[in-house]
């Protein structure tokens, strides 16, 4: 690629557009999330006195109302598809050779994939939430104090994605074939979501994780009880350790 000039610019544009499918899928998910929210939803809460000012309370109410019952399930499927793209499909497409040729190790790629999954997961979800909030109350964007709640929401969702990512990616690393991985994940999501399941009641848990509670002032991931949170975080951590060990033991692929 030329170092500078117009040709380099167009080469970069070409490279950017080559990810068109990804942008298109992200846009589709943005609209999907937007569909989940009711444009004319009304919500009344009383005694919001935990908020230090009405503007904070207003943002808390807005963020709390921008939620749908179906959203956790859709978000989990969204993240599962992203992990499929980043782990199962890239092996088949020879992207791991590109990584190897570029001189990056497997663990670095794992970290990069985590960041990529965060970006791909958060951008449509948070974008849709903000879009619906600003369509409800455009002037609320001027209430700077309240943006704290939007930031907390983003952090909470990022924490949630970080919790789910190692579990899904460990499965993807073991199963390899995207189809089998997707079948297993969706089976897990639909069928085994009971209290006694291995990753115990992720769906129920997600309600708490994604749901912002305006009455208590608790924010999503941080408002979950500790007894529910710790085993899941431990499971997630174990999966991450497992993936790292798996990479270490298998070593680098021998390219011929």
CA–CA distance, 46 with 48 (Å, rounded to integer): 6
Interacting span for another protein (CB under 8 A) from 72-80, 102-110, 114-122, 159-167: 72-80
HSE of 134, CA atoms in CB hemisphere, 13 A? 10
- Smallest distance, another protein to C-beta of residue 223, A: 16
**How far from 37 is each of 58, 121, 168, 172, 201, CA to CA, in Å?**
18, 18, 27, 31, 24
Residue 137 DSSP class: -
- Smallest distance, another protein to C-beta of residue 120, A: 11
Site for another protein in 173-202 (CB under 8 A): 178
Instruction: Give the residue with the Cβ less far from another protein, 40 or 196.
Output: 40
CA–CA distance, 48 with 58 (Å, rounded to integer): 9
The verdict on 255 binding another protein (CB under 8 A) reads no
Interacting span for another protein (CB under 8 A) from 1-9, 106-114, 115-123, 136-144: 136-144
Determine which residue in the list 1, 3, 17, 44 makes contact with another protein, applying CB under 8 A: 44
**Nearest alpha-carbon partner for 71 in 120, 29, 128, 33:** 33
**Nearest alpha-carbon partner for 84 in 168, 161, 206:** 168
Radius of gyration of the chain (CA): 21
User: How many residues at the interface with another protein, by CB under 8 A?
Assistant: 49
Instruction: Give the residue with the Cβ less far from another protein, 140 or 159.
Output: 140
The verdict on 31 binding another protein (CB under 8 A) reads yes
Determine which residue in the list 7, 12, 43, 237 makes contact with another protein, applying CB under 8 A: 43
- Smallest distance, another protein to C-beta of residue 32, A: 6
**Nearest alpha-carbon partner for 110 in 133, 128, 90:** 90
Site for another protein in 233-252 (CB under 8 A): none
Q: Are 146 and 55 in contact (CB under 8 A)?
A: yes
Residue 216 has which token pair?
A: 């208590």
Which residues sit at the interface with another protein, rule CB under 8 A?
A: 21-22, 24-25, 28-29, 31-32, 35-36, 38-49, 54-55, 57-58, 61-62, 65, 68-70, 74, 77-78, 81, 84-85, 89, 92-93, 136-140, 142-143, 178
């Amino acid at each position: 690629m030329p170092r500078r000039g117009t040709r380099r610019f167009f080469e970069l544009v070409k490279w950017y557009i080559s990810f068109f499918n990804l942008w298109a899928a992200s846009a589709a998910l943005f609209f999907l999330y937007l569909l989940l929210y009711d444009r004319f939803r009304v919500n009344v809460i009383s005694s919001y006195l935990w908020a230090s000012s009405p503007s904070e309370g207003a943002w808390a109410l807005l963020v709390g109302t921008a939620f749908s019952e179906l959203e956790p399930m859709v978000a989990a499927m969204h993240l599962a598809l992203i992990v499929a793209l980043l782990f199962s499909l890239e092996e088949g497409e020879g992207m791991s050779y590109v990584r190897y040729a570029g001189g990056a190790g497997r663990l670095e790629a794992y970290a990069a994939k985590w960041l990529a999954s965060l970006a791909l997961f958060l951008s449509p979800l948070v974008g849709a939430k903000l879009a619906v909030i600003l369509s409800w109350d455009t002037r609320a964007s001027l209430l700077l104090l309240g943006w704290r709640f939007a930031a907390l929401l983003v952090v909470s969702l990022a924490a949630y994605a970080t919790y789910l990512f190692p579990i899904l990616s460990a499965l993807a690393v073991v199963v390899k074939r995207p189809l089998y991985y997707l079948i297993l994940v969706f089976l897990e999501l639909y069928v085994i979501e009971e209290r006694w399941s291995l990753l115990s009641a992720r769906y129920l848990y997600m309600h708490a994780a994604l749901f912002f509670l305006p009455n208590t002032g608790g924010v999503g991931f941080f408002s979950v009880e500790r007894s529910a949170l710790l085993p899941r975080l431990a499971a997630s951590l174990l999966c991450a350790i497992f993936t790292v060990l798996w990479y270490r033991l298998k070593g680098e692929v021998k390219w011929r």
